[in-house]
Amino acid sequence: MYKLRNSKDLDAMLDHIGDRRIVMLGEASHGTHEFYTWRTAISKRLIAEKGFNFIAVEGDWPDCYGLNCFIKGHRSGLSAQAVLQGFDRWPTWMWANWEVAALGGWLLSHNDGLAEEKKIGFYGLDVYSLWDSMRAILDYLGKEHPDAVGPARQAISCFEPFEGNEQLYARHALSDHSCRDKVLALLQQIRTGTPDDGPGREAVFNAEQNALVAVNAETYYRSMMQFDNESWNVRDTHMMQTLERLLDFHGNGSKAIVWAHNTHIGDARATDMARAGMVNLGQLAREAYGINQVYLAGFGAFSGTVIAATEWGETMKEMQVPKARKNSIEEQLHHAAGEDRYLLFPEDSEWEGTYDHRAIGVVYEPSREHYRNYVTSGMGRRYDAFFYFDKTRALHPLHLRPHTDKIPETYPFGV
């Protein structure tokens, strides 16, 4: 085990990563300060020392592309906080927080003065943004290719009766009202009607990605009505498809940093997800690129506080995270270490066994967590590294009043 006090303590992990092309950084919740700040610390070193090209996160493509434009200097006059205020789809706190604002400010500074192709990017991997993506396509075509807006208008008009309600659309699509043909035609129009090189190639890539989101989101929302795990698999397969497209877009030898929940980045084959027929991003990346090109790092904590909500769409609040369940990996590390540490596999072979491993989502009820918030995991097969925090703090959402009048300290080591 390695102590975790400042960014210098990451040296062993950087050596362990070696020349791998993809590094995935997890989290056991979507609302923990330390998970965000340490992923930032790792990402900064990967970018500065190992030439990584972009960060791709468990977020919506249109919103994240706005932050991508900001950090590349294309949205002058705005601050990172102002850009992140646009992340207004629930759960807003996942990306509209002071911790991500600090990362955005660092990326803007890092990119300043670099050639466009050398600038670090920031992108969303998720599949939820059906309506936002179609509106983005219509806006792009209206400005760049006004003669090609027909398929976009047809796709949008097909979804209009459902007024942005994905569940309502999914119920109707099971019978006789599917918009799939419309969004497929839209994707084909984008792919064949716009050049893929030249000075505006990232704008073209953005338009095509929004069309792909529309196609896969339509599939995702229809699959939700099947009451099985297919919607999960559609979502993570889309994330993998997006990651592959981003690596191809950035060229031979490009390198990716991924931020997503442990349930997405930790290899599903090492968990009880596999018995349920579920795949995830970490597994798919290992299968596609090889285990020696993909590095998976999980994160977890023994106790602390977290930002979450008790029901989907409800108001976020700071909640107390109880001490981890008996015999879980978090409880075992609490007794063995009692302070923040990280493990490297197979070096820390004594921790490679199978344990219960905590997983907190955006919906969380602390009083019920001891029988519903754990994933049985073979730690050394699920991850290459595991970051353990003995006591954590909730992150700092932008849409709540900040804890102080100043930006909260966003790094545990004061950087």
Residues 264 and 316 placed together within one structural domain of the fold: yes
* Unique residue bearing structure tokens 């960060």: 55
Range with lowest mean pLDDT among 169-173, 244-248, 319-323, 360-364: 169-173
Residues 282 and 381 placed together within one structural domain of the fold: yes
Report the C-alpha gap between 382 and 203 in whole angstroms. 36
pLDDT digits (tens, 9 = 90+) for 17-33: 999 999 999 999 999 99
Residues 265 and 230 placed together within one structural domain of the fold: no
- Residue 118 belongs to a domain: no
CB 127 within 8 A of CB 239: yes
pLDDT of 175 reads 65
- Residue 90 belongs to a domain: no
Full-model pTM: 0.92
- Residue 72 belongs to a domain: no
Domains of the chain: total:
2
* HSE-CB of 260 using CA atoms within 13 angstroms: 28
Q: Residue 46 — pLDDT band, cuts 50, 70, 90?
A: very high
Q: Which tokens sit at 356?
A: 């219960």
Q: Please list the residues that pair with 386 across neighbouring strands.
A: 298, 343
The domain of 267 spans 1-57+255-415
Residues 235 and 264 placed together within one structural domain of the fold: no
State the DSSP code for 23.
E
Distances (CA, A) of 252 to 20, 156, 244, 248: 14, 36, 12, 7
pLDDT of 143 reads 85
What mean pLDDT do residues 30-53 have? 98
Helix (H, G, I), strand (E, B) or coil at 301: strand
Residues 217 and 165 placed together within one structural domain of the fold: yes
Q: Please list the residues that pair with 123 across neighbouring strands.
A: 56
Residues 209 and 282 placed together within one structural domain of the fold: no
**φ, ψ for residue 354, nearest 5 deg:** -95, 130
pLDDT digits (tens, 9 = 90+) for 200-241: 889 999 999 999 998 898 888 888 776 668 889 999 999 999
CB 395 within 8 A of CB 340: no
CATH code of the domain covering residue 412: 3.40.1660.10
- Residue 287 belongs to a domain: yes
